Structure 1
Amino acid sequence: MTGRPPLPLLFLDIDGPLIPFGGTHREYPAPDGAGPAAGAAANPLLARIDPSLGPRLLALPCELVWATTWMADANTDVAPRIGLPGLPVLDPPELPEAQQRADEHRGLHWKTRALVGRAGGRPFAWVDDEITAADRAWVSAHHEGPVLLHRVDPRTGLTRADFAVLDSWLRGVGGARG
């Protein structure tokens, strides 16, 4: 046992960060050996996912976790297209309906409470296109460890600049090994 702390977590959304929504986008065929994903025919947006994102995500010094409405479909429909292994999936929080309505009213994303709970004090980055000031305030008040809430432009998805920010931050909070 090395006694090293666990790697920081990186909670990753799909719609927006991996599947860009603006302008004209290049379409990528499903990679050889991955086979067509079950949802690929039903969701032509999957062709917008750049397969080079997978290796770039795997090179980051972190533990990847899906934080997406795709839920388990992220591992069957998205991961094979970009060469990712099956990843853990963030479950929606089980909240009373009144609490859900209150969170929605103040602009708190459904993922916010869940990812802070899942992190359990560990450093984490959240990559999403829907992060708001309400999410930032809630995380700041409820998570004591280092955190990076990184909002991605949904028109472009993850860019080289986003990867540079993520890599630098993750290494700075103890993600570098070696």
Structure 2
Amino acid sequence: MSERKELPLLFLDVDGPLLPFGDGPQREPSGTATDSHLTRLDPHLGPRLAVLPCELVWATTWEEAANTDIAPRLGLPPLPVVTWPETSDAHAREDQWFGLHWKTRTLVAWADGRPFVWVDDEITEADREWVSTHHPTPALLHHIDSSRGLTNEDFTALDQWLRTT
């Protein structure tokens, strides 16, 4: 009997990739979004995300609120949610020194060796280097322009990477 291959994970941030900032209102703190803030959410993104060959996972400070406030507006089912642990002082100092995003270590741990894509507007080269050294399988850290959010070009890149992994 052959073993079923697990799909790659797609860690998805909300602010920036799904809710672009653009020239409009400034970013609001997590959990304080108003309905007008959520009007920037493009409902066409949900079906496009749903057909990608991956397991979607919320990787956002919205945490569970992404399932109640974002997923229904996109037509997505409730998704798994990364819960952000308190960072140790030692890791925080090390991450600051190396320029790592505060999400990087947690996402690598959450992936637990599975291939993954991370879609975020705050990814840096330091994150890419750290992941390539500390994660044993392929990973794509895909930076999104927060003023535009996810674009056709982003979906093309994500789909191609996911289908070749």
TM-score by length of 1: 0.83
Inter-partner Cα distance in structure 1 for 2:162 and 2:46: 17
Alignment of 1:89-104 (within 5 A): 89-104=81-96
Alignment of 1:61-80 (within 5 A): 61-80=53-72
Match of 1:54 in 2: 46
1:23 aligns with 2:23: yes
Inter-partner Cα distance in structure 1 for 2:153 and 2:59: 21
**Partner residue of 1:167 out of 131, 151, 159:** 159
SS at match of 1:48: coil
Note the alpha carbon deviations across 1:24-81, whole angstroms, 9 max, x for none.
69xxxxxxxxxxxx966x3532110000000000000000000001111100111111
Note the alpha carbon deviations across 1:90-116, whole angstroms, 9 max, x for none.
121443223223313432111100111
TM-score by length of 2: 0.90
Match of 1:138 in 2: 130
Match of 1:120 in 2: 112
Contact 1:92 / 1:110 at 8 angstroms: preserved in 2? no
The gaps in structure 2 that reach 5 residues or longer are 26-30
**Partner residue of 2:121 out of 119, 129, 132:** 129
The gaps in structure 1 that reach 5 residues or longer are 26-37, 174-178
Divergent runs of 4+, >4 A: none
Contact 1:17 / 1:157 at 8 angstroms: preserved in 2? yes
Match of 1:28 in 2: none
